Amino acid sequence: MLALVCPGQGSQSPGFLSPWLDLPGVQDQLEALSEAAGIDLVKHGTVSDAATIKDTAVAQPLIVAASLVTARLVLQDHAPAQVLDVTAGHSVGEFAAAAVAGVLQDGDAVALVTRRASAMADAAALEPTGMSAVVGGETAEVLEAIGVAKLHAANVNGAGQIVAAGDLEGLARLANDPPPRARVVPLEVAGAFHTPYMAGARDVFGPHARGATPADPVVRLLSDADGKPYPARDGAPHGRGREVLDRLTEQIVAPVRWDLCQATMAEIGVRTMIEVAPAGVLTGLARRSLREVRTVAVKTPDDLALAREVVAEHAHAATSSAGDLA
């Protein structure tokens, strides 16, 4: 089984889109997505500095646009439903995964993410908050320490990594008294994302999500809320698009349970994972948590050949299975 996964905020780096612009059509795709976002994504992906692309309002649409452009390059003429068994995204990457699954057009996904990013940036500016990765330690002890520090477990990523979020005093308490056998690493983010501190952002973003016109997913799509596929509804085997957007809205204040997404991939028998650009984080987690799964990180155009080979193998297998059933 083949999974395509889309990374979240923090995966970007200065100039990471530059080599992609040498490929035919990529500049045009990025310019179209820039128009949808109202932001010059080509500039931010090629010449903007680290501080600029760390800004939430820039980072989120930039990452989603990069994921979608590279996903289309990986899939080429293959329809996602023909070759993918499952797709998922980490945090803002859920929007890219939803577009891969057919819920949103690429431009609509980037436009919605831009609204989300702006609302989250505004919410983060209301009071000083932040996030820190807690690496190592026993999960129960880490979660207990986060609670004692009056923080929230914003991301439970698996592979011994949990992200704590909240006010700066609480983060300092956690750093000064870390859980046993764990270290606390401050993250360069603007605020406590995926916590109740983002309630204002959820409320601002909600009307934009409700105003969108989604389609139903055509590929099994995992939710960061519980790691499970969206449940089948009458005539919709992979859930309803409206439900996807409703849950993406609530996810602004809810923890990202990537550990549960990985558990579902293991349960359903995923054997290969492709991570689209800016790739590396999710395949890195998979190498520690899903050790039997083959991973392909599409970081540069040099990685396209292998990713396309994997897709072609799965397309051939799917065609052969359909022929056998006939």
Q: Where are the beta strands (DSSP E) in the chain?
A: 2-6, 86-89, 129-136, 152-158, 161-167, 182-186, 272-275, 294-297
The sheet carrying 272-275 orders its strands as: 86-89, 2-6, 272-275, 294-297
> Residue 238 contacts by C-beta under 8 Å, 6 or more apart in sequence?
101, 216, 217, 218, 219, 220, 221, 229, 230, 232
- The residue among 193, 222, 21, 229 whose CA lies nearest residue 119 is 193
Q: Is 91 among the catalytic positions?
A: yes
Single out the catalytic residue among 194, 223, 289, 314: 194
Q: How far is CA 228 from the centre of its chain?
A: 15
> Rounded to whole angstroms, how far apart are CA atoms 102 and 219?
8
Contact predicate 115/208, CB 8 Å: yes
Single out the catalytic residue among 91, 118, 223, 289: 91
Q: Which two tokens stand for residue 250?
A: 């609530």
**Tokens 């409703």 appear where?**
246
Q: Is 314 among the catalytic positions?
A: no
Active site residues: 91, 194
